[in-house]
Amino acid sequence: MDLVRLENVSKVYRVGETDINALREIDLLLPPGGFICFVGPSGSGKTTLLNMIGCLDRPTRGRVFIDGQDVTNLSRKKSALFRGRKLGFIFQGFNLLPVLTAAENVALPLVMVQRLSKADRNREVVGILEAVGMSDQRHKYPNQLSGGQKQRVAVARALVTRPSLILADEPTANLDRVTAERVVDLMKSLRDKFGSTFVFSTHDLGLVKHAETIYELVDGRINDNHRPLGE
């Protein structure tokens, strides 16, 4: 069964008297276990498409299925619960809370959406921080970490609930090339270890080359181009 299925999905935003067609009749099937990239110029619909898959926005038309469940018209509360159980997010700006340590940031999804004892929660946090090579930094605050270390913590936070699907919007945009390559290698190794599907949007050709499937968006539509850019 496909992990993600979009059927004839369109998204129209009203700006003043103008309709903006962010997505146009998108049909998409994504299998489990993939390392999948959306590329395209600014305004092409990449982030809107990620938001649809991430239950952060609703289509104007069409239907969205994640892991066999129709999430098209879930309420805000049910969407939040579904995201907490099934999805993980990695952000361009890391989005770590500055008043929490690395371990506390990673634990936050478990505190918010999963009923675990403190001992079980700590066990999960330590395990995932070890997997991303950050267990020795777990008591540090974000302002004490490098950009690469912050993104490793962000990856750990996304994976701590063992989600089926990880969504990443420009995950290497704020990293230098060497650090970006390390983070991408880390994400792929964690995909192989935990079986989660990674779906990301990017302008970074260094990241694109690591993708196994590439979808190019132009003017809200997916082109029939599934090869890494530059090949």
pLDDT at site 224: 66
Phi/psi zone of residue 162: left (φ > 0), alpha (ψ -120 to 50 degrees), beta?
Answer: left
- Mean pLDDT within 41-47: 89
- In a 3-state reduction of DSSP, which class is residue 78? helix
Tally of domains in the chain: 1
In-domain check, residue 61:
no
In-domain check, residue 6:
no
In-domain check, residue 119:
yes
pLDDT at 225 over 60: no
pLDDT tens by residue, 159-193 = 999 998 999 988 888 888 888 888 888 888 888 88
- Mean pLDDT within 207-218: 90
57 has which bridge partners? none
Q: How far apart are CA 14 and CA 106, in angstroms?
A: 37
Q: How far apart are CA 47 and CA 194, in angstroms?
A: 25
pTM: 0.87
pLDDT at site 210: 87
Range(s) of the domain holding residue 86: 31-56+73-222
In-domain check, residue 212:
yes
Q: How far apart are CA 72 and CA 59, in angstroms?
A: 7
pLDDT at 227 over 70: no
Lowest mean pLDDT among 17-26, 50-59, 71-80, 108-117: 108-117
In-domain check, residue 197:
yes
Rounded to 10 deg, the angle between the 118-131 and 102-113 helix axes is 130
Q: pLDDT over 70 for what percent of the chain?
A: 96
Is residue 231 very low, low, confident or very high in pLDDT (cuts 50, 70, 90)? Answer: very low
pLDDT at site 228: 43
In-domain check, residue 229:
no
In-domain check, residue 187:
yes
Q: Supply angle C-alpha 193, 96, 210, rounded to 5.
A: 40
- In a 3-state reduction of DSSP, which class is residue 21? strand
Q: Helix %, strand %, coil % for the chain, to 5? A: 35, 25, 35
For all residues of the chain together, what is the average pLDDT?
89
* Domain CATH for 42: 3.40.50.300
In-domain check, residue 94:
yes
